[in-house]
Amino acid sequence: MTGPLSGVTVVAMEQAVAAPMCTRVLADFGARVIKIENPNGGDFARDYDDVVNGPGGLAAHFVWCNRGKESVTLNTKAPEGMELLHRLLDRADAFVSNLAPGATARLGLAPADLAVRHPNVIPVEIDGYGPGGPISHKRAYDLLVQAESGSCAVTGYPGMPAKPGPAMADFTTGLYAATSILALLIGRNNSNTETAPSVALSLFDVMTDVMGYQLTYTQHSGIDQEPLGVGSPAVAPYGAFPTRDGQTVVLGTTNDREWQRVAREIIDRPDLADDPRFATNPGRCAHRGILDEAIGNWCAQHDLAEIQKIADDAGIGNSRYNVPSEVVAHPQLTARDRWRTVDTPRGEIRALRPPPVISGFEQPMGAVPGLGQHTDAVLSELGLTADDLERLRAEGVIGPAYS
């Protein structure tokens, strides 16, 4: 099956995670993604670390977010470099950027500019806080936005807030951006306008949406919920408990019936099952310490495998607490054939398949590009000759020849 986005071309001026994740998702579905990079170093995420096929290897963030793309180095401050970018946009369906606030406007690439010169291109601008607000001018990285949106305040422990480990603001914004492009691509044949709609996304708006439960709860209760580590303020009992064999099990209940099964069939505490304080979830949340202690004492007397079998037999959700190295070797990923091989400039690596499993189609998972690797090939499509490319290199309009 040909990729569902085969024939769609996306030009991107992107860096870090949010926009690169958007375009990686599109590339996984068969879109052609042309990544425009500064000849002087390119996407700064290339240098976050050097652990992939290292030492002196590739950066883990970059490898994660940039497979399946073509890297073209262009000095967009040079008039001829900008003109080449416009020629690429002439052939594009979407333009994705997450530059500093105001950067696309200074380059003449704001949505209003593209509407005039490239009316069929969908402009997608990702920024930190969105225009028109008192902090719109501020730089915004994942941690900063997670702190500003309250995400850090509901993660960690009371008095010990923490940033959620994954780059939630960047990742979810990238997914929202990709979804928006897909929606507009589907709807463009039904549009009555001559200019493609533009998309503006801010990390802050996305994270306040992700915080929807917490913000709704606080609006209506007046309470700022405390973080509970590996637990949830919304339901109880629900948390992590050490086992007799030195591991950790996570057990969770989501309704009154499950609580009754935990109390009666797992930890053998009918007294707790009959206690009116624990009859409903609000009561259990209010007295979670008592329940956590009872479950914790029981888990400490049993091995992980025994606990999980008993919980499974009782129909109670449970999992093993894993660290990343254990997830890499997780038998579920191996049994379901979730790993694939991806090429990089420093050799092959393993990468997980994209989450959607689509009948008749497997995402291509193309190579991770070297800086400027596709400059000559892509610009040759515009009619540039070898002499043209040599001259542009000498003038600093494009980066060095890739080797």
Calculate mean pLDDT across residues 341-360.
95
pLDDT tens-digit profile of 198-227?
A: 999 999 999 999 999 999 999 999 999 999
Please give the CATH topology (third level) of the domain spanning 9-212+337-395. Rossmann fold (3.40.50)
Which backbone phi and psi does 140 adopt, to 5 degrees?
Answer: -140, 115
Instruction: Output the average pLDDT for the chain.
Output: 95
Residue 188: predicted pLDDT: 84
pLDDT tens-digit profile of 125-164?
A: 999 999 999 999 998 999 999 999 999 999 999 999 999 9
What string of H, E and C letters represents the secondary structure of the chain?
A: CCCCCCCCEEEEECCCCHHHHHHHHHHHCCCEEEEEECCCCCCHHHHCCCCECCCCCECHHHHHHCCCEEEEECCCCCHHHHHHHHHHHCCCCEEEECCCCCHHHHCCCCHHHHHHHCCCCEEEEEECCCCCCCCCCCCCCHHHHHHHHCCHHHCEECCEECCCCCCHHHHHHHHHHHHHHHHHHHHHHHCCCCCCCCEEEEHHHHHHHHCHHHHHHHHHHCCCCCCCCCECCCCCCEEEEECCCCCEEEEECCCHHHHHHHHHHHCCCHHHHHCHHHCCHHHHHHCHHHHHHHHHHHHCCCCHHHHHHHHHHCCCEEEECCCHHHHHCCHHHHHCCCEEEEEECCEEEEEECCCCCECCECCCCCCCCCCCCCHHHHHHCCCCCHHHHHHHHHCCCCCCCCC
pLDDT tens-digit profile of 72-108?
A: 999 999 999 999 999 999 999 999 999 998 899 999 9
pLDDT tens-digit profile of 46-73?
A: 999 999 987 889 999 999 999 999 999 9
pLDDT band at 321; cut points 50, 70, 90 = very high
**pTM of the predicted model as reported, rounded to 2 decimal places:** 0.92
Calculate mean pLDDT across residues 247-251.
97
Q: Looking at the predicted structure, is the pLDDT value of residue 1 above 70?
A: no
Q: Looking at the predicted structure, is the pLDDT value of residue 228 above 80?
A: yes
Percent residues over pLDDT 70 in the chain: 100
Q: Looking at the predicted structure, is the pLDDT value of residue 247 above 70?
A: yes
Contacts of 181-189 with C-beta under 8 Å, sequence gap 24+, read 181/10, 181/22, 181/26, 181/94, 181/96, 181/122, 181/124, 182/26, 184/122, 185/5, 185/8, 185/93, 185/94, 185/122, 188/122
Q: Looking at the predicted structure, is the pLDDT value of residue 194 above 70?
A: yes
Please give the CATH topology (third level) of the domain spanning 238-320. formyl-coa transferase, domain 3 (3.30.1540)
Residue 111: predicted pLDDT: 96
pLDDT tens-digit profile of 276-313?
A: 999 999 999 999 999 999 999 999 999 999 999 999 99
- The helix-helix angle for 203-210 and 168-187 (nearest 10°) equals 100
Domain ranges for the chain: 9-212+337-395, 238-320
pLDDT tens-digit profile of 3-51?
A: 999 999 999 999 999 999 999 999 999 999 999 999 999 999 999 999 9
How far does Cα 66 stand from its chain's mean position?
12
Calculate mean pLDDT across residues 350-376.
96
